[in-house]
Each structure stands twice: as structure tokens, then as C-alpha cells.
Structure 1
Amino acid sequence: MEPWLLLAAYSAMIIVVSLLGGSLPFLGRWTSNQLHMMTALSAGVFIGATFLILVPHAVEAMDIEQALMLVMVGFVAILLAEIIIQHRHQDECDDHTVEHSHSLTSTTAFIGLSVHSVMDGFALGVAVVLGEEIGTVVFLAILAHKAIDVFSLSTTFRLADIDKRRGLKYMLLFSLITPIAAAFAFPFIDWLEGIELGIPLALAGGTFMYVGIYDLLPEAFHEEHTQYKAFALVVLGIATMYGLSLVLHTAGH
């Protein structure tokens, strides 16, 4: 099959899976407590992805000191983005502190996952050009975590009290990032092949670390009487990503 046809098919499936996973938190009515429990699961997913997938793969692909430096750069970059966003919405924060906090969490989660989605798209575009077999492996790896990622992101939208129609528009936008990045990779295939794969992995690791630990964990443990449940769900999220890391390791070999 022609590479562009294969990429089109993969992109369509990524969009469908993204929209399905992202729509789940918008189905039915969720209590504040249930949303915070879903946030706990999402926090575990982000933390697990950081320490079990992104950072280890970055360290494998490049020098460990450079990889960890780029993780820190990703962490600081998302911190700066959050400061800028918070400063621009300071007036809203004065009157609606809780709502503003949830909105900030959803925004930083969107940024962090978008960085990772761009990286996924570049990897998919390069892989499809290199060969159908490696392209399929990379596609399956992306598809495996995409549904989990969008579910986590959509949960933060619900927590921020974003209405269903607007939330699904955001999810549609997010679902297009990886396919667009993959299509963009085609004309720049020679240049992209020369880039250290560890660079985008490490940067994404830093953004995921910030979102998971600084934004989502505090939300997960918002209610004192549900902290043990929240802890169990954080561990479940981490365990889920551990299982995914084993699947990706097997697929890579």
C-alpha cells in the first residue's frame, strides 16, 4: 500500500479512537466526587507515562544527562506556560478560584498532551515512509495509549465545567494533532530522521511530569474522606501504564 494511503487509514483510526475515548466523561451525569476519582486515575496515567515510558525511552535514545536536562526543560516550559495563563486570567481567579484552578489544570493538560501528540505524529509519519511493518508497530503503539490520554484530558474538561459541546470541539481539535503532524512529516522526512528521538520524548516527559504531579494530584486528593480511594486509583493508573509499557516493549521487539 502507498505510504500516504496507509497514513490516511491510520490517521482516521486515531481520530475515531480519540473521539470515542474523549466522549466517555461527557456521557451521563458525574458528581464532583466521581470526577475527582477519575482525575486520580488520570494522574496515575500521566505519572506512569512519565516514569515508565517517556523518560526511559528518552534515556535509551540519547545521553542520560542530556535527556534529564530536556525533561527539566519540558517541566519548566509548562510551568512558564501556566504562569502566563494564570496571569492573563487573574481577574477570573479573584471571583472564581476553584473554577479557575480547574480551568488551569485542563489547559496545562491540553498543552502537555499536545506536545506528546505532535511527537507521535512525527514518529508515525517517519515510520510509515520507512516501511509498512515499522509503520504498523508505531501506529499500534500510538493507538494503545491514545484512548487513555484523551480520556484523561476529557476528565479535566469535565472538572473545569466545560459544557459537552465545547468539550467535544476541543477533543476533535486534539484528535487532529497527531494526523496533521504525521502529514507534515512527509516533506521533511530526511530532516526528521536526523533528529534524536530522545529530544521530543524527554520534553514530553517533562510536561507530563508537571501535569501529573502538580496539577492532577492535588485535584485527586481534594476530598479528605476519599483519599484512600484516590490513592488506589492513582496506583491503578500507574499499573495501567506499566502494562502498556510491557506491550510496547514486546511490539518493539
Structure 2
Amino acid sequence: MDSQTVLLVFIAVGLDGVAGLAGGVLSERWLQRRLPALVAFAAGTLLCAVFLEVLPEAVSALGDSAFTWAFGSFVALALLEWALGHHHHQAEAAAGHVHGHAHGHTHAHGAPVLPTALLASDALHNIGDGAAVAAAFLVSPNAGFATAFAVIIHELPQEVGDYALLRAAGWSRAKSLVALGAVQLTAAVGAGAVLVGTRYLPSLQGTVLAIAGGSFLYIGAVDLLPELRRGPDSRQRVVGFLCGLLLIGGLHFVERFLGAHH
């Protein structure tokens, strides 16, 4: 592990943190127009990164046991979201009701989402994102860039929704942004743990990638992908999804092409 890899990891984590403040920075009108395409784009980047970069590298490191870790991660994330009663990635509904229309800010049983539960869930999610980015950069720069880009893009709709939920709970704009900014720092904790841990336990890298693959698959397929079928602007969503696939897929095949010629 060289200093350049460490620098790239923390630059990516820093950009992820900036993305977490998008809900309070971007205009609501722009978000309402572009969020459907952004959610679809995030689904495309995540799913493409899972199948072309993250899971193949995990299998290369761990063998078939990578699928066991990925499946366990998928199930654990599903149970966690059900237990908390809040899907982070229902961001479109939340972002459309920033000023407190209650039906965009309740969980499955109709009770308001508690800010503490929301932030705790977000912190756990960010730790996993930071760990995944670090593990991917340890494999190769291309795997790191693909994973980091997918993480940052899917962070945008998630954090827009979280910002809307905090505002709906009565938090001020400043308090909401400070809380989300503090929670974003947990991504650095996950990244640092992987960078240090792999020095003493090299197999940790493959395990983290497998866990990330399962969680990314859940987020992309369960939370984000269904958004393509909702609302009148289906063309915008499909185009966003295909652009996400083409971007990560293009990076993957360019790397393979250059590698074959070297």
C-alpha cells in the first residue's frame, strides 16, 4: 500500500462527504426536475460496478466464499432497513416535500422517522461505503474509481432525502447540514479501518469487497431500480440508468483494452 493509494482513498471519501451536503446546497426546483434521472443514473453505476468490478475482484481474492459474504450482506441490509422502517433511497418522494408534507416523511407504519435513527443508519451506511472505496483502491485504481464514483452518485439522492426528512422533523437548515456533515465523517472511519486492517489481515480486502458487492446490489436493485417504473418521466429515468451503465462499463472495458495491449 503506497501513499498515492491512501491519498486517492481519502480524496474519494472527501468527495463523498461533499455529496452528502447536496440536499442543502442545490435548489429544490432543480432537484425535483433532475432527481428521477439522478436516481436512475445511480442505479446504473452501482449495478454495473457490482458485476464488472466489485464482485469479480472479491471472487478473485476469496473464491466462491465471496458469494456467501455478498449474500449475507444483502440479507443483513434488508433486515436493517426493515427494522428501522425507513428506506434511504426513497429520496424522490422526500425531496419533493422538504417543507413538511407528512406523507413523504413517515415510515411504513405511519409514524414520523426519528432523526436519531435516520442518522445512525446513515452512519453505518457511510462506514460501509468508506470501507468499500478503500478496498477497491487497494485492488486497482480502476476498481477504486468505479466504486468511488458509484458510491458518490448514489449518495446524492440518498442525502437529499435525508436532508428533507430532517427538515420535516423540525430541524433548521444549519442543524441538518451540520448533522449530515458529521455523519459523513464516518466514511473516513471505514476507509481507515480497511487500510490499517489489510496490513495485518490481507484477506480482509476481499471480504470487504464481497460485503460491499452485496450491499450495493441491494441498494441498486431494491431501493433505486424500482424508481425507473414510477412517475410520468420514464424516458428520463431510462436514459439516466443507461448512462450509468455506459459510464462504468466504458471505464471497465477501456481498462481491459489497455491492459491487453500492455
Structure 1-normalised TM-score? 0.69
Residue equivalent to 1:14:
12
Evaluate the alpha carbon distance shift between residue 108 and residue 231 of structure 1 in structure 2; reply closer, same or farther with a 3 A threshold.
Answer: farther
Does the 8 Å contact 1:40/1:216 carry over to 2? Answer: yes
Is 1:238 the counterpart of 2:248 in the alignment?
no
Residue equivalent to 1:157:
159
Q: RMSD between aligned alpha carbons?
A: 3.9
Q: How much has 1:246 moved relative to structure 2?
A: 3.5
Counterpart-to-counterpart distance in 2, 1:242 and 1:42: 13
More helix by share: 1
Evaluate the alpha carbon distance shift between residue 199 and residue 19 of structure 1 in structure 2; reply closer, same or farther with a 3 A threshold.
Answer: closer
Counterpart-to-counterpart distance in 1, 2:252 and 2:154: 18
What's the secondary structure of 1:197's corresponding residue?
A: helix
Question: Which residues of structure 2 form unaligned runs of 5+?
Answer: 87-100, 168-172
Does the 8 Å contact 2:132/2:209 carry over to 1? Answer: yes
Output aligned runs, 1:1-253, within 5 Å.
9-10=7-8, 13-23=11-21, 26-29=25-28, 30-64=30-64, 66-86=65-85, 96-100=102-106, 111-112=124-125, 114-121=127-134, 138=141, 141-143=143-145, 145-160=147-162, 161-162=164-165, 165=174, 166-167=176-177, 169-171=179-181, 173-174=183-184, 177-178=187-188, 180-184=189-193, 188-193=197-202, 195=203, 197-223=205-231, 225-246=232-253
Q: 1:211-251: per-residue Cα shift (whole Å, max 9, x none)?
A: 1111112234320x211321221121122221233456558
Q: How much has 1:141 moved relative to structure 2?
A: 4.8
Does the 8 Å contact 2:41/2:244 carry over to 1? Answer: yes
Does the 8 Å contact 2:136/2:209 carry over to 1? Answer: no
Evaluate the alpha carbon distance shift between residue 120 and residue 13 of structure 1 in structure 2; reply closer, same or farther with a 3 A threshold.
Answer: closer
Q: 1:4-36: per-residue Cα shift (whole Å, max 9, x none)?
A: x76774465335433444455632332534212
Question: Which residues of structure 1 form unaligned runs of 5+?
Answer: 88-94, 128-133
Evaluate the alpha carbon distance shift between residue 11 and residue 230 of structure 1 in structure 2; reply closer, same or farther with a 3 A threshold.
Answer: closer
Give aligned-pair identity as a percent. 20
Q: May I ask how many residue pairs the two structures share in their alignment?
A: 229
Q: How much has 1:197 moved relative to structure 2?
A: 3.5
Does the 8 Å contact 2:135/2:206 carry over to 1? Answer: no
Q: How much has 1:171 moved relative to structure 2?
A: 4.8
What's the secondary structure of 1:100's corresponding residue?
A: coil
Counterpart-to-counterpart distance in 2, 1:105 and 1:38: 22
Does the 8 Å contact 1:112/1:207 carry over to 2? Answer: no
Q: How much has 1:61 moved relative to structure 2?
A: 2.1
Q: 1:45-78: per-residue Cα shift (whole Å, max 9, x none)?
A: 22112222212222222223x2222221111000
What's the secondary structure of 2:105's corresponding residue?
A: helix
